[in-house]
Amino acid sequence: MKKKTLLGIALAVGAVLLLLVAVWGRQYYIDRYVGADYYAMVPLDYDMTPVPVKTMDGKEIGMAIAYKLTAYNEQGEAKQVEFRVNDPDSDISLGEVQPQPGTFLLVKASKQLVVGWRVISESKVPEKALSFLR
């Protein structure tokens, strides 16, 4: 009987730990990879100077433009978003076109990072967000 009791306790503890890891993993995934829509505009005076892209050991592998923008959701709530777009002539280019000053963007941003972005027309920006971007 004692072995069955210990086995039952061990299985219960294991099940609780598995549940905790699953809940934590789900929340981590949501916080990191599930994005909400935000709208931004690259300011007309934005510094488009490319910066070097380096590997973790410091080796330069290309150039990119780093974007640090204030974006707004449909309710007008602000969020700072940061992402980079590699130089189209670089070996590390993903074929993206670097947004130019005056360009409107739809940015998918999670709590932790920018999940994706795309260029949109001004007419696609919700009025509340647009009022902050003009």
Number of folded domains that form the chain:
2
Residues 11 and 51 in one domain: no
Name the phi and psi angles at 21, rounded to 5.
-65, -40
**Residue whose token pair is 């300011």:** 43
Count of C-beta atoms within a 10 Å radius of residue 41 = 23
Query: Beta strands of 11-77 (E only): which ranges?
Result: 36-41, 51-54, 60-72
Residues 48 and 60 in one domain: yes
Integer distance in angstroms from the first to the last C-alpha of the chain? 74
As a residue count, the chain comes to 134
* Helix (H) or strand (E) run with residue 115 in it: strand 114-120
Written as one letter, the residue type at 133 is L
**Residue whose token pair is 């730990």:** 17
Residues 25 and 60 in one domain: no
- Spatial contact of 66 and 47, defined as CB atoms under 8 Å apart: no
- Domain span at 121: 34-133
Residues 88 and 109 in one domain: yes
Residues 123 and 93 in one domain: yes
Would you give per-residue pLDDT tens digits along the chain (134 residues)? 688 888 888 888 888 899 899 889 899 998 889 999 999 999 999 999 999 999 999 999 989 999 999 999 999 999 999 999 998 877 777 788 899 999 999 999 999 999 999 999 999 999 999 999 98
pLDDT for the residue 53: 92
Give CA–CA dist 39/129, Å, rounded: 7
